[in-house]
Amino acid sequence: MATVLLARRLFTPLETIDDAVLVFEDGVITAVGARAAVRIPPEARVLDFGDAVLAPGLIDIHIHGGAGHDVMEGSDESLAAVERLMATHGVTSYCPTTVTAPVDATLRSLDALGKAVERASRGDGDGARTRPLGVHFEGPFLSHAKRGVHPPTLLQPASRELFERMWHAADGRVSVMTIAPEIEGALDLITEASRRRVCVSLGHSDADLPQTRAAIQAGARHATHTFNAMRPLDHRDPGLLGAVLTSSAVTADIIVDGIHVDPVVVDLFLRAKGVEGAVLITDAISATGMPDGTYMLGGFAVQVRDGRCEFDGRLAGSVLTLDRAVRNTMKFGDISLQNAVRMATINPASLLGLEKRKGSLSVGADADIAVFTPAGEVVRTIIGGVLN
């Protein structure tokens, strides 16, 4: 049976439709348009959301956990807890993100995560759970100088052999790899990962401008949590940030929680990358949705107080949710809800090469939908046509 959604406004997100109608059936969108132009199927279930806004479901390409669990635990119970929490915040798809750990532990986690992605790709599972699209490798190919909280003894030079083991452990279900372009073997690995259609993202790096440009030439096309764990921008030594902020060939993501990046710098970032080049992420850890306390990120304990996550005095992820990132972006950058939603929907979907299925309200796309108030609060989340 078809389901019809009615709302005051709809963001595709590239276009706005007023007095909107969206129809889906069997988990796929079959019609989108203004009420006067769309035929409502007879006997369809009709849901009228009044003054609300229909938008694509949000996509988080960098998240470590939530609800007290880390994605590297790998069990269905732990992933279910994380995914159900994300669903309440309008997120319909995500990339479970690893953190640098012993190789054997990483491979075990990747085996479990790869299987979870495979199940989701078949449409198996609970409609109340956000669906994984592919794994994000954050580590171990990172800079010692800008490692953040990644354990220094576990960092590795860029190695095709280790990448191959990680790739096979995840059964090829790899979407993103963060790498520091200046480390040994990086350019060769960037070329290989790009050949396999992995989105190579530059981060945790002390790279200078020539090293960054060489990485972009080799196939890197994104930047991880811009400003954080990067060589600072200097007017005589622009480094990685100088390349990222000025290159139209590179998109970039950012943690808009007001802690990782000052609101003024968020505004500067948005001016530099534009709405088409910016991606919102959370970098959320297991503490997300939980009270203050001690929580795990991979294999180490993080202290969380007043929204700030720290390990040994360093920031260690966040407790940000993606809908909050959307609202913060509206506030910090004087950005419309439509443009903020774009940065968390079609932009990450395009980065992953999934824009025909995800991140857009268009005929033939998956019925992954977030319903917002005009102020950006989530009213309802629909995942694969299942209402939550």
Domain ranges of the chain: 3-53+375-387, 57-359
Angstrom distance (rounded) from CA 58 to CA 60: 7
Instruction: Give me the mean pLDDT over the 337-359 stretch.
Output: 98
End-to-end CA distance of the chain: 18
> Which residues are within 8 A (CB) of 354 and not within 5 positions of it... i.e. 6 or more apart?
133
- Residue 127's pLDDT is 78
* Residue 261 token pair: 């990046």
DSSP code string of 268-319? HHHHHHHHHHEEEE--B-TTTTS-SEEEEETTEEEEEETTEEEETTEE--B-
pLDDT digits (tens, 9 = 90+) for 177-200: 999 999 999 999 999 999 999 999
Phi, psi of 274 (to 5 degrees): 75, 170
pLDDT digits (tens, 9 = 90+) for 287-322: 999 999 999 998 889 999 999 999 999 999 999 999
pTM of the model: 0.98
Do residues 187 and 214 lie in contact, with contact meaning Cβ atoms separated by under 8 Å? Answer: yes
Helices (H), the chain: 76-87, 103-121, 160-169, 186-195, 209-218, 239-246, 263-277, 322-333, 337-342, 346-351
Phi, psi of 366 (to 5 degrees): -65, 145
What residues are labeled active site?
Answer: 283
Q: 123: pLDDT confidence band, cut at 50, 70 and 90?
A: confident
* Residue 204 token pair: 């945790």
Nearest 5°: the CA angle 384, 20, 330 is 80
Percent of the chain predicted with pLDDT > 90: 96
Angstrom distance (rounded) from CA 118 to CA 143: 31
- Residue 388's pLDDT is 87
Q: 365: pLDDT confidence band, cut at 50, 70 and 90?
A: very high
- Using CA of residue 375, residue 252, residue 92, residue 26, what is the dihedral sign? positive
CATH architecture for segment(s) 3-53+375-387:
Roll (2.30)
* Residue 136 token pair: 């994000």
DSSP code string of 189-203? HHHHHHHTT-EEEE-
Percent of the chain predicted with pLDDT > 70: 100
* Residue 6 token pair: 């009615």
What topology does CATH give the domain 57-359?
Answer: TIM Barrel (3.20.20)
The CA–CA distances, whole Å, from 150 to 100, 116, 142, 208 equal 6, 25, 8, 21
Angstrom distance (rounded) from CA 38 to CA 18: 13
Phi, psi of 28 (to 5 degrees): -130, 140
Instruction: Give me the mean pLDDT over the 248-262 stretch.
Output: 98
Angstrom distance (rounded) from CA 330 to CA 284: 20
Residue 125 has pLDDT above 90, yes or no: no
Peptide bond preceding 140: is omega within 30 degrees of 0, i.e. cis? yes
